[in-house]
């Protein structure tokens, strides 16, 4: 059975993202600088290069694509947890191009910020840690025994 755990918001950070820097690496550096262990984030703005993709469930491997150009971020959200004692950022991104066509998926490094504003909600409570899930092949949050989700 899947489990949920309740968290309170400890702090909210708002800020401008640095131009020409990678989104994921920037969030990792923010977390290291502010000692953030658990958080959610939301980002708006634009990118000049994006690397995104999906997880192929049959071969249990990520497939990624890289595109350069002007892309508006329609939505970029994710969370921060811990892997081996370091911040691990998991994000998804949805973009539009100059013709209004949309695309998106799992966010990878080498996605460069043109302009961006970020909101990071630091969570208070037990720190979520990721571990390899043998069934899916993904690094998922460890299951907890608190607050079960009822499927009734």
| Per-residue confidence (pLDDT) for residue 3, from 0 to 100 | 67
Q: Which tokens sit at 84?
A: 């081996």
Average pLDDT over residues 41-62: 97
Indicate whether 144 pLDDT > 50.
Answer: yes
Instruction: Dump pLDDT digits (tens) for 104-138.
Output: 999 999 999 999 999 999 999 988 888 888 899 88
Average pLDDT over residues 130-148: 75
Q: Domain 8-125: give its CATH code.
A: 3.30.1330.80
Q: Which of 37, 144, 39 minimizes the C-alpha distance to 83?
A: 37
At 5, the pLDDT band (50, 70, 90 cuts) reads confident
Is the model's pLDDT at 151 over the cut of 60?
no
Residue 146 pLDDT more than 70?
Answer: no
Residue recorded with tokens 């401008």:
16
Q: Where are the domains of the chain?
A: 8-125
| Burial category of 31 from C-beta neighbours within 10 Å (exposed 0-12, middle 13-18, buried 19 and up) | buried
């Amino acid at each position: 059975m899947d489990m949920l755990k309740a968290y309170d918001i400890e702090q909210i950070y708002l800020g401008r993202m640095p131009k020409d820097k990678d989104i994921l690496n920037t969030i990792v550096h923010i977390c290291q600088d502010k000692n953030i262990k658990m958080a959610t984030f939301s980002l708006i703005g634009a990118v000049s290069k994006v690397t995104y993709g999906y997880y192929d469930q049959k071969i249990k491997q990520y497939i990624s694509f890289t595109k350069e150009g002007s892309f508006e971020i329609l939505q970029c959200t994710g969370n921060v947890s811990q892997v081996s004692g370091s911040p691990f950022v998991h994000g998804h991104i949805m973009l539009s191009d100059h013709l209004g066509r949309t695309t998106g998926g799992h966010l990878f490094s080498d996605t460069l910020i043109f302009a961006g504003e970020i909101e990071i909600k630091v969570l208070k409570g037990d720190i979520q840690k990721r571990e390899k899930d043998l069934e899916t092949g993904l690094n998922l949050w460890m299951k907890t025994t608190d607050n079960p989700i009822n499927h009734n």
